[in-house]
Structure 1
């Protein structure tokens, strides 16, 4: 009753601080007005606030409306956190085209079977997810010939592209940094693809590949990818020098460009092939991470004299990729465990930037010019109780369920053994490994263990107890 008759837009601050009779509807925003401010990781340990105007967001939505032939009958499954800018597409595109949005719960977004079930139950026609999430759904048996799938946020490997394309009606690989408003290029992946590119610019967008001096290079030559057009952000909030360094003007065409820091080359057909980062920024499970920011926070711990960070492992490894930190401990002070270090870092870093492994070094490897040589950092050693079979070494013989749960954890984490009370997060577990373990327990033992159990008591003993409870409940 308090908002009746106040037009399309109402400021909530006014609603609760001003008598209802005195509240006036706010003016509709112009294309230049700020739509949202979103912070991304910073190389100096100081996050950057990207200012995205309404015009850039509207441009993105209209471009994908036309690209995907969006219609009122479309049903989108929203699986992305609001803190990830790509959520705007899956929430807002169906709303401007007369479609419908089905919002997945937080636990469901980590469960491939739950997402697959939601898609089938609600007749979902469009789903946007990272490659990591698509793997979860494929492992859960996703088969949706009527689904249009969008993959973005991290590189789409060719084997995954082939497997996913076989299970869905259409598959798009999309690419774009936050500073150019979510997605800037798109490629529809054909059946039986032989290569995966990020495609060509969407409507109203231009891309150039530049040499170190900022000059365009010919097709086929590798350089830094720069993006211009209607999707560009204003710049960084309160950071004029950084804005001037990254948002530049092409002296020939006079086009404003954002220098992405990504290496790329343009293929003969005009499509873009992305080749990784120029700097030390990485993507892990869809989240953009500046390793320098992680290192800065680790070095704030009183036990750390110096530190480096790197992503190690392969997405195809049993344990998956892991963010590893390499501290040099200060002499004469207590050394924290991985859990203690993660708890310290959680005070200033989001979950996606918390390390999954710690590998202490006597000193950091350096390049000839004195910088940390991340390529020389070793694979992190994950401490395990020994080389025995899963469950060996306990005072009492392990029952069948406990032994099977331990075996599943060893398979997924790539460990030779695991202790009854070992914290699985100390051994490299993360949200994706949790869902894999839950799926294998369900398939092998027949117990549907809620995902929150794995986070509340992350040990073999506690999870085995939960499995036993679920089985007993099923028998009753």
Structure 2
């Protein structure tokens, strides 16, 4: 007998009230939750991590930078939480990091399979570990560009100097590699 899964998509009215959403998570016994950090923060403040409640087994946090206060709250939670990073141009998911007591700083983790991540300077050369640079992505999940926008496509999808004939996406995000090989999000290089 196969186990079934049910997708729950809550109304904007429910999502705008963390207590209503938390009640729905309890009632529907949600096991996997995908939310933006701003909503995850509200859910934690409303009591998501309290052990007397039904808790999701997995929570993917994506779409915005994770604030250090949320990272800290989830580090000791029994919910397996992951910080997922990736722009729309890369079909949303490019890297992931599990939030745990072993990850004291906010990290965007390591690349998913078939994904290459580069931290480069303005000359498209790799920067040393611990030095900030622009984050570039390449791999199977990358889009081929912007529909009917060849000018923007040409400026953001550039030749990959490390793989002949390949293209990489210039994210506009600033990041650095940690000494442990993790990606650390720093901010944006534009507005």
Give the TM-score of the pair, scaled to structure 1. Answer: 0.37
Greater radius of gyration (CA): 1
Q: Which residue, out of 146, 152, 158, partners 1:242? A: 152
- Cα distance in 2 for partners of 1:123, 1:244 equals 46
- Cα distance in 1 for partners of 2:99, 2:120 equals 26
How far the C-alpha of 1:145 sits from its partner, in A, is 4.4
Coordinate RMSD, CA, aligned: 1.7
**1:224–1:263 CA contact under 8 A, matched in 2:** yes
- Cα distance in 2 for partners of 1:134, 1:115 equals 11
Q: Which residue, out of 78, 81, 95, partners 1:185? A: 95
Q: Deviations over 1:137-182 (max 9, x none)?
A: 1222213444211112111122211213444420101111111111
Richer in strand (by share): 2
How far the C-alpha of 1:192 sits from its partner, in A, is 6.8
Aligned equivalent of 2:128: 218
Question: In structure 2, do the counterparts of structure 1 residues 228 and 192 end up closer, same or farther at CA, with 3 Å as the change threshold?
Answer: closer
Aligned equivalent of 2:188: 277
1:306-325 aligned within 5 A:
none
Q: Which residue, out of 25, 32, 47, partners 1:141? A: 47
Question: In structure 2, do the counterparts of structure 1 residues 193 and 271 end up closer, same or farther at CA, with 3 Å as the change threshold?
Answer: closer
Q: Deviations over 1:349-387 (max 9, x none)?
A: xxxxxxxxxxxxxxxxxxxxxxxxxxxxxxxxxxxxxxx
How far the C-alpha of 1:220 sits from its partner, in A, is 2.0
Question: In structure 2, do the counterparts of structure 1 residues 265 and 177 end up closer, same or farther at CA, with 3 Å as the change threshold?
Answer: same
Aligned equivalent of 1:176: 86
- SS for the counterpart of 2:130 is coil
- Cα distance in 2 for partners of 1:252, 1:167 equals 40
1:56-95 aligned within 5 A:
73=3
Correspondence 1:111 to 2:17: yes
How far the C-alpha of 1:132 sits from its partner, in A, is 1.0
How far the C-alpha of 1:115 sits from its partner, in A, is 1.1
Highest relative contact order (Cα 8 Å, sep 6+), 1 or 2?
Answer: 2
How far the C-alpha of 1:123 sits from its partner, in A, is 1.3
Aligned equivalent of 2:109: 199
- SS for the counterpart of 1:221 is coil
- SS for the counterpart of 1:136 is helix
Give the TM-score of the pair, scaled to structure 2. Answer: 0.89
- SS for the counterpart of 1:102 is coil
Q: Which residue, out of 45, 70, 73, partners 1:163? A: 73
Q: Deviations over 1:310-365 (max 9, x none)?
A: xxxxxxxxxxxxxxxxxxxxxxxxxxxxxxxxxxxxxxxxxxxxxxxxxxxxxxxx
User: Unaligned stretches of 5+ in structure 1?
Assistant: 1-71, 74-97, 281-476
Q: Deviations over 1:241-262 (max 9, x none)?
A: 2111110121232232000011
- SS for the counterpart of 1:236 is coil
Aligned residues: 185
**2:30–2:55 CA contact under 8 A, matched in 1:** no
Richer in helix (by share): 1
How far the C-alpha of 1:222 sits from its partner, in A, is 1.2
Question: In structure 2, do the counterparts of structure 1 residues 99 and 204 end up closer, same or farther at CA, with 3 Å as the change threshold?
Answer: farther
Aligned equivalent of 1:253: 163
Correspondence 1:102 to 2:8: yes
**1:162–1:193 CA contact under 8 A, matched in 2:** no
Q: Which residue, out of 174, 182, 185, partners 1:263? A: 174
